Structures are given as structure tokens and as C-alpha cells.
């Protein structure tokens, strides 16, 4: 039995953008906090150094991080997704296994669905973070505005996307095993247009 793919017009794409932007910013805040704690352990608490130290510097770093995330989501989930007629949503597997989930999560970085529901090259998902990082060069210190630093941030963003996809792939399973499906917060993978492997 096939599952019907739901076409996203402009308004639902904006909904995906705002939902992803707000939830990703919360996750990225946690990621940034974890990075800060890890960096303190190895003596890199002042990165990039051009911001200086103290709460003002932390606010600048955190604000730049949120701006990078929001612009990446705007370009990837709305602008490029609309231009290339691609669906920016992630569809979890119905019965994920660990290695299958690793493969699927990495695969979804380069493959997405188009509006009719067919797998295509993820142009919007790859150009979005790149455009976000290029735009971030406007508000980052000059020492961070090099091609090498931009490419490094872009590669780190893609690696975090794979990790985020792993989490999103297992989230419905966690909810089901904890008996929280009755809350109706997480869609059932079998009903969301997800591939059934």
C-alpha cells in the first residue's frame, strides 16, 4: 500500500521554515552550550578571539550563531526549496536500525524529495547552509570571513545535520516506546509519507 506524498505550496513551506528555525535554534543552543563546555576543558573558551571576553562577547557569539542558523533555514527550507520545487522536510524511517539510520541520515543530506514525492539531489539542503554561512560573513569578525573558515563552518553544519537527522529518525521510536504517542505531537512515520523499509 503506497503512501501519498503531500505537495507543499508556499504557505506550508513558510510553516516548515518557522517550525524548523525555532526548534533548530533550541537544539543549536544546546549544541553551542555543549561546545562551550568542551572547549573550556581544552582551553578554547575565547573562540573566535575577535569578540573578546565577557558577557557582551558571549552575546555576540550567540547572536551570530542564531543569525547563521536562521539564515541557513530561510535559504534552505524556503528560498531554494521553492526555486527547485523540493520538500525540505525529513521523513523518519518506520523501523530504524542503528546502521540503517546512520546511512539514511547521511543519505538525506544529499537526497531529498521533490514536490511530486520522488527522490532528487538535495540542492536546496546543500545550498541553504552554504548561503547562510556566506551571509554570516557580514556579521562575523574579519578573521572568520575567509573562504577556509566559511568552508569549515559549512562542513560542521552538514555534520550536525546528519546528527540531527539521526535524532529525528529515532524520535518517533522514543515516543512510541515511552508510550507518549497519545500526545499526538510526533507524527506516525507510517502516516507521514515516510519510506517503509
Q: Within 10 A of 77 (CB to CB), how many other CB atoms are there?
A: 27
Residue 178 has pLDDT above 70, yes or no: yes
Return the H-helix or E-strand segment holding 15: helix 10-41
Output the pLDDT for position 187: 53
- Residues present in the chain in total: 197
User: For residue range 102-141, what is the model confidence (pLDDT) as tens digits?
Assistant: 999 999 999 999 988 899 999 999 999 999 998 888 888 8
Q: What is the distance between the alpha carbons of residues 173 and 188, in angstroms, rounded to a whole number?
A: 9
Amino acid at each position: 500500500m503506497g503512501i501519498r506524498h503531500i505537495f507543499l505550496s508556499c504557505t506550508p513551506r513558510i510553516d516548515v521554515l518557522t517550525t524548523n528555525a525555532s526548534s533548530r535554534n533550541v537544539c543549536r543552543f544546546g549544541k553551542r552550550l555543549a561546545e562551550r563546555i568542551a572547549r573550556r576543558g581544552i582551553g578554547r573558551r575565547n573562540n573566535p578571539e575577535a569578540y573578546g571576553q565577557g558577557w557582551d562577547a558571549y552575546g555576540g557569539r550567540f547572536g551570530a550563531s542564531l543569525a547563521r542558523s536562521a539564515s541557513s533555514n530561510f535559504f534552505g527550507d524556503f528560498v531554494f526549496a521553492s526555486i527547485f520545487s523540493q520538500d525540505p522536510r525529513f521523513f523518519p524511517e518506520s523501523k530504524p536500525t542503528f546502521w540503517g539510520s546512520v546511512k539514511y541520515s547521511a543519505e538525506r543530506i544529499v537526497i531529498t524529495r521533490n514536490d511530486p514525492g520522488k527522490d532528487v539531489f538535495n540542492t536546496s539542503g546543500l545550498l541553504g547552509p552554504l548561503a547562510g554561512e556566506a551571509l554570516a560573513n557580514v556579521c562575523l569578525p574579519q578573521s572568520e570571513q575567509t573562504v577556509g573558515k566559511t568552508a569549515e563552518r559549512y562542513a560542521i553544519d552538514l555534520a550536525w545535520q546528519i546528527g540531527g537527522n539521526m535524532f529525528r529518525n529515532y524520535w518517533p521510536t522514543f515516543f512510541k516506546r515511552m508510550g507518549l504517542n497519545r500526545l499526538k505531537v510526533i507524527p506516525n512515520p507510517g502516516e507521514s509519507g515516510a519510506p517503509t523499509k
